[in-house]
Structure 1
Amino acid sequence: MLQDKTGQRLVPLKSDIYQEHLIVKRRSQKEVELFRLRNEITISGNGRQEVPNPIQSFEEVSFDGLISRALNRQGYENPTPIQAQGWPLALSGRNVVGIAGAGSGKKLAYILPAIQHVSAQLPLERGDGPIAVVLVATRETAQEIQKEIFAYSNPCRLRSMCLFGGSYRNIANDLTTTGYEVVVATPWRLLDFLCERRVNLNRCTYLVLDETDVMLTMGFEPQLNRVFERTRPDLQILMWSSTWSPILERLATKNMPRFTQINVGAISPHPGNHDVIQVVEIVKEEEKLNKLKELLTEIYDISDHPGKILVFAERKSCVSTINAFIGSFVPCESIHGDKTQAEREEVLRDFRKGTYNILVATDIASLNIPAVKFVINYDFPCSIESYLQRIERTGLSHTPHSKSFTFLTNLNEKQFRPMLKMLKDAKQPISPDLQRLSTEEDCGNKKRRPFRKWKYRS
């Protein structure tokens, strides 16, 4: 009899629900390895033994009829590489770490197995918590994922709910009385509900961490570990990320005794982005507003309708300043943490529709916004990972001829060398000033000198 840490009896779990298609089973090892090589799929981790073969079409995966019909209505032609290998692993009850870039199909890689997993478990009873939980970094991402889950869970008569800061607390009554099989939440909000005993994880057997790299960059590692401490011992865990880093490896090895890691594409902490032209310029802090105006003028000189432009700043006060500055000559809007949830939703909705084409934001807006043509990093973020996330979470890498522009100042001195390496790896143009200052930093590391003013070459 399985029990939790308090000795309470736990409902039995049915984890391995994968039924391998005969065609998939009969494929030779040579065919499987060729498919993985062609799609840049690599398998690692301490659970890589006897990894199920990847599927190559939707007909080869064993989803229930209702899920399959909902998937067919979306009009997808074939599974993406992360889905092709991720679905058999997730349906087999394995712990998974999936590393793939934005737009690779990671969300469906865990959503459809989650619904299949929930459908295979015993029904919820009064007071039971959710069976599947998805943790994400921001409220906007949570709402986006919940909408996608609803498209597949509703035909199966499964209920889903979204928990985030600003959501109504009385919805917790529904969680414990009516019961919801799937919950999407931010880590802080879920912990609030757990501490107040408004929800429990005794029935949670499928836990997803989406955009794990983003959550770790935002400092959520302690909160994620606290969630893990409240879960049952036979929990299936799936972590999804765009990059692989030591902090992600630490989180995975601490909370998953065995896991299988799937990599699609380059295996590197900073793989760069070959699909976006990345322009990095060294400027003085006091010059940034004028440089921004010059840059926007150049963009609008090319076309009166240049496409969506996303400007990132680190502080809310800076966002307001930039918004007022740009708004004096072209329409724009801003989004940051001080705005209400309704205001943020309205701003993002209007930006997606094209009501205005410039949005100034803090990193809270780093989610998938389609057809962004330009990203401007007015302030450089806290790390290279955050820089890459800004580009990838906007969907920028899938917009033809897209560009990112980044302003670096003396405040970002520690990022010169890693930025230079990342740009070289991604075969991007290198600013002579960045090259020179990175070299000077190398010399300074050998014999650290007091801070001196930079000398710019005209």
Structure 2
Amino acid sequence: MKNNIVMDRIMTKDDIVKPIPKPLLTFEQAFYNYPEILVELKKAKFEKPTHLQRQAWPILLSGEDMICIAQAGSGKTLAFLLPAFIHIDGQTITKEERRGPTILIVAPTRELVIQINKEVIKYQYRGITSCCVYGGVDRKKEVAALQEGVDIVIATPGRMNDLMNSGELYIENITYLILDEADRMLDMGFEPQIRRVLYGIRPTR
């Protein structure tokens, strides 16, 4: 335990426990191969990663799953977004060739969905596109954005389920999934929608 961060593995394969990647200290250590990301971080006037980001980036950039429990202001949104950008950029099939988004972010409220999308837009990286889908608004614009093709979809569970049922949100090619405030979504009764997504996206996520 350091800086009030506790790390542990909750699942192992064949009782083999891999060591947890060591935390980093600087943005350069995480993104030395991605100078455009470093430029965006400099534009945002960030001086150093948060304690959470220092530990999260080595794990996510190595392709492992991660559960994070952290208070507001810990930098968790940026912690999952920057590896997501790199994941999109590393796809061998172009956006024009593949069907549906590569990244799906599910959050419990439209306020949080909008907030996450603002962060995506803030850090421009290689033409990556995104759209929000949430209830209470005209779905025609959402459907039009999905049909045009986006890299990242940020959705509330109800509207996501609605668009999946109508065939307008295709999730089979999603290889990077983020459940933001997953505990809150479970408390709100969205477990069936979350399970459907987990079973519907690529097994190699």
Q: SS of 2:87's equivalent?
A: helix
How many percent of aligned residue pairs carry the same amino acid?
38
Paired residues for 1:424-435 under 5 Å: none
RMSD, aligned CA? 1.6
Is the 2:95–2:149 contact (alpha carbons within 8 Å) kept by the matching residues of 1? yes
Q: Distance in 2 between matches of 1:127 and 1:94?
A: 24
Cα shift at 1:140: 0.8
Of the two structures, which has the highest relative contact order with CA contacts closer than 8 Å and spacing of 6 or more? 2
Paired residues for 1:57-456 under 5 Å: 57-62=26-31, 64-121=34-91, 122-125=93-96, 128-152=99-123, 154-170=124-140, 171-176=142-147, 178-235=148-205
1:141 partner amino acid: L
1:42 partner amino acid: V
Is the 1:130–1:204 contact (alpha carbons within 8 Å) kept by the matching residues of 2? yes
Unpaired runs of at least 5, structure 2: none
Is the 2:85–2:125 contact (alpha carbons within 8 Å) kept by the matching residues of 1? no
Change (3 A) 1:229 1:39: same
1:172 partner amino acid: V
1:172-221 Cα deviation digits (max 9, x unpaired): 13313x21001100011111111100121122100000111221222212
Change (3 A) 1:127 1:205: closer
Is the 1:126–1:179 contact (alpha carbons within 8 Å) kept by the matching residues of 2? no
Q: Distance in 2 between matches of 1:91 and 1:205?
A: 14
Is the 1:137–1:215 contact (alpha carbons within 8 Å) kept by the matching residues of 2? yes
Cα shift at 1:57: 1.1
* TM-score normalized by the length of structure 1: 0.41
Q: Distance in 1 between matches of 2:98 and 2:144?
A: 10
1:52 partner amino acid: P
Cα shift at 1:41: 2.3
1:117-167 Cα deviation digits (max 9, x unpaired): 111113113561110111000011100110111111x34211110000023
Bigger radius of gyration: 1
Paired residues for 1:10-29 under 5 Å: none
1:63-121 Cα deviation digits (max 9, x unpaired): 62222111111112211121111111111110111111111111111011111111111
Count, aligned residues? 197
1:93 partner amino acid: G
Q: SS of 1:59's equivalent?
A: helix
* TM-score normalized by the length of structure 2: 0.89
Q: SS of 1:82's equivalent?
A: helix
Is the 1:91–1:113 contact (alpha carbons within 8 Å) kept by the matching residues of 2? yes
1:101 partner amino acid: Q
Is the 1:165–1:189 contact (alpha carbons within 8 Å) kept by the matching residues of 2? yes
Change (3 A) 1:66 1:168: farther
Unpaired runs of at least 5, structure 1: 1-36, 236-458
Q: Choose which of 40, 43, 50 in structure 1 pairs with 2:4.
A: 40
Where does structure 1 differ by over 6 angstroms across 4 or more consecutive aligned residues? none
Equivalent in the alignment of 1:364: none
Higher strand share: 1
Q: Distance in 2 between matches of 1:193 and 1:126?
A: 21
1:379-417 Cα deviation digits (max 9, x unpaired): xxxxxxxxxxxxxxxxxxxxxxxxxxxxxxxxxxxxxxx
